[in-house]
Amino acid sequence: MIKQKLVLRFPPALVEQPVIYHLVKDYDLMVNILRADINPKKEGRLMLELSGSEANFRQALDWLQEQGLRVMNLKQQITWVEERCTHCGACSVICPSGALALTRPEMKVSFDASKCVICELCLRACPARAMETLLDEVK
Ligand code: SF4
Ligand code: SF4
């Protein structure tokens, strides 16, 4: 049994492919969608968590790459660079999961990566660029 978070990037021609359907039906994987969006260039990005047998998972990765998708690992996706943080609190206001939270009365921000749902709102909100994203392409 394997459980792994991935980012799939779709070129514009593949955005409408029923990828989730195939992952469930053909590879018997459980799919938990964390985030999906399409950028202005019509490229799609899907963040998801897959779980199932390791053999099926590996076959599904091969199939995704054969379709022309880029597949990246999402382990430790969002990191907080504490030394850059000014504890302004801008991220804690918009963080939907409570991963970034302001403690009172100290008024210090803390980051709990286990609560992060990788929405990336904090990347845009942080004026100090203290939040970073790490992606690791699956071979
Ligand atoms: S990526 Fe989203 S959930 Fe994670 S810390 Fe940033 S705002 Fe919070
Ligand atoms: S927005 Fe950036 S600088 Fe402000 S508290 Fe959050 S991580 Fe720190």
pLDDT digits (tens, 9 = 90+) for 68-92: 998 988 765 788 999 999 999 999 9
Burial of 6 (0-12, 13-18, 19+ CB in 10 A): buried
CA of 106 to the centre of ligand 1 (A): 21
Q: What is the pLDDT of residue 97?
A: 87
Name the CATH architecture for the domain at 78-133: 2-Layer Sandwich (3.30)
Q: Are 109 and 100 in contact (CB under 8 A)?
A: yes
CA of 36 to the centre of ligand 2 (A): 25
Instruction: Sketch the domain layout of the chain as residue ranges.
Output: 2-73, 78-133
For the chain, how far is it from start to end, CA to CA, in angstroms? 20
Taking only the tens place, the pLDDT of each residue in 14-43 is 878 899 999 999 999 999 998 787 777 788
98 backbone φψ class: left, alpha, beta (φ>0; ψ -120 to 50): left
CA 87 to chain CA mean position, Å: 24
What's the mean per-residue pLDDT of the chain?
88
Determine the atom of ligand 2 nearest the C-alpha atom of 89. 5
Say whether 78-133 and 2-73 share the same fold.
Answer: yes
Determine the atom of ligand 1 nearest the C-alpha atom of 77. 1
Q: Are 22 and 66 in contact (CB under 8 A)?
A: no
Which of the listed residues 79, 109, 116, 132 should we mutate to test ligand 2's pocket, taking the one with most ligand atoms within 8 A of CB? 109
Q: Who has greater pLDDT, 133 or 128?
A: 128
What distance in Å separates the CA atoms of residue 37 and residue 16, rounded to the nearest whole number?
12
Does the pTM surpass 0.75? The reply is: no
CATH class of 2-73: alpha beta
